[in-house]
Amino acid sequence: LQLLFNKERPDVDAICRYMENLPVPGLDESAQYQRRHELIERRIRQVRKAISSLQNMRRFVSETLERMPDGILIGDELGRLFYSNESGRRWLEKLPAKGATIASLLEKRHNIQNTAAWSDAIRDAIVKGVSSSRNWADKGMAGIVLIAPLTLGMKGNQGVIVTFSDISAIHQAQMERLQTINFISHDLRSPLSSQMALLEKAHRELIGNAEAVALVEKLQGLTRKSLNLADDFLQLARVEAQSDLNLYACSLQDIVDNALDTAAPQAAQKNIDITVRETEADFYVRANAGLLERALGNLLSNAIKFAPPDSTVMLVTSRRGQFIRLSLTDSGPGICEIELPRLFESFRRTRQSDELHKPGSGLGLKFVKTVMSRFGGTVGVESKPGAGSTFWLDLPACPRPGRPA
């Protein structure tokens, strides 16, 4: 029976015949023939059920492997290919010859340079049980290859599994982002900076000619607006393109002090007082100081922009479990409930800020949200029309450097 089961396609009829001839101990053949028959029928049904669920499971596993979007190559203890799924065969570009080693197939397919040979990595996986990964790019295609040891069967024989994940779309998006960054910084931002410098020179030289000075000042205002927009774009594109941000323990106090220094001239223009309140003196958060300073600067500049002149903006830092909350409250016009959910999208501005002719392109909050998600934190807002707004940042708390957690 064991032999019949182990076959690739179990012969159900043979199993049934075998079962029918099984002796049933303790039964009198003439008197209890019916009983015996029923018993065997039941056993046969059970066997049929077991075989069908076994077949279903086998089909499920092999079809799942076959259709996996990642390429899979499995090699034996000598690194010879014995299984490849559909994506794996596509990656190899042709049906592999019988007995070929995975290393030779990959070397033929991808002439990699400046990295250890495929054969070394595969040998290390089989012999030493060491996993490795490498990036790979060829003919506009990009991928990540993982080489890992695999234990084959019950005897503990070693093999190797090589997977290939196609990241061409991500790679392409990254290239496009880099092109956007280059375009904004060189083609858009640089001429605007030169224009700004020339206008300043013209402004100095035209002193005494009130009409010309007024015209130059108007031009300066427009150029500054375009320059700010290019800067906002650039900051956002940079943070989106950066694959690994440098995150470390930052002193919240230093970040708040720097952001307040930057915001001071804007606050002074409207005679706005920024009051800082801390529940503990020594907060440290895991972040990138430059980006966090800019994110807080964006919230501060919004609060000052929307707060009425001669009012107070309140900045409070407090501990909330594993997070440090930094909240900023102003007594500005507030925001309608219906506009709150989409406030953090690019170019989103409330109807009220357009009606009040408040300047801005609507990229500041998008930057804050992007940065916060990269830090593993969150940004939120509470606001009601006529009752001011509170924007808050929840940042992952961390111990002061040099102190145990």
Ligand X SMILES: Nc1ncnc2c1ncn2[C@@H]1O[C@H](COP(=O)(O)OP(=O)(O)OP(=O)(O)O)[C@@H](O)[C@H]1O
**Residues found near Mg ion in the complex (CB under 5 A):** 302, 360, 364
Q: Which amino acid would we find at residue 178? A: L
Minimum Å distance from CB 305 to Mg ion?
7
Residue 187 to residue 176: CA distance in whole angstroms: 15
Per-residue tokens: 317: 């830092």
By CB under 6 A, residue 349 contacts ligand X: yes
Residue 314 burial (CB < 10 Å; 0-12/13-18/19+)?
A: middle
The DSSP line for 126-179 is III---EEEEEEETTEEEEEEEEEEEETTTTEEEEEEEEEE-HHHHHHHHHHHH
By CB under 6 A, residue 361 contacts ligand X: yes
Yes or no: say if 259 and 296 are a contact pair by the CB < 8 Å rule: yes
* Sole window of 117-125, 141-149, 262-270, 330-338 interacting with ligand X (rule: CB under 6 A): 330-338
297 binds, among Mg ion, ligand X, none (CB under 5 to 8 A by kind): none
Minimum Å distance from CB 103 to Mg ion?
55
By CB under 6 A, residue 306 contacts ligand X: yes
Minimum Å distance from CB 358 to Mg ion?
9
- Considering only 85, 302, 317, 331, the residue that binds ligand X (CB under 6 A) is 302
330 binds, among ligand X, Mg ion, none (CB under 5 to 8 A by kind): ligand X
Q: Which amino acid would we find at residue 117? A: A
- Order the strands of the 389-396 sheet from edge to edge: 273-278, 312-320, 323-330, 389-396, 378-383
Dihedral pair phi/psi, residue 207, rounded to 5° = -55, 130
Compare residues 105 and 230 and give the one whose CB is closer to ligand X.
230
- Considering only 122, 296, 365, 371, the residue that binds ligand X (CB under 6 A) is 365
Helix (H) or strand (E) holding 325: strand 323-330
Q: What angle do CA 306, 307, 310 make, to 5 degrees?
A: 145
Compare residues 206 and 264 and give the one whose CB is closer to ligand X.
264
- Considering only 102, 389, 394, 397, the residue that binds ligand X (CB under 6 A) is 389
By CB under 6 A, residue 297 contacts ligand X: no
Compare residues 189 and 305 and give the one whose CB is closer to Mg ion.
305
Interacting positions 102-161 with ligand X (CB under 6 A): none
- Considering only 101, 235, 288, 350, the residue that binds ligand X (CB under 6 A) is 350
Q: Which residues bind ligand X (CB under 6 A)?
A: 232, 298, 302-303, 306, 330, 332-333, 335, 343, 348-350, 353, 360-366, 389
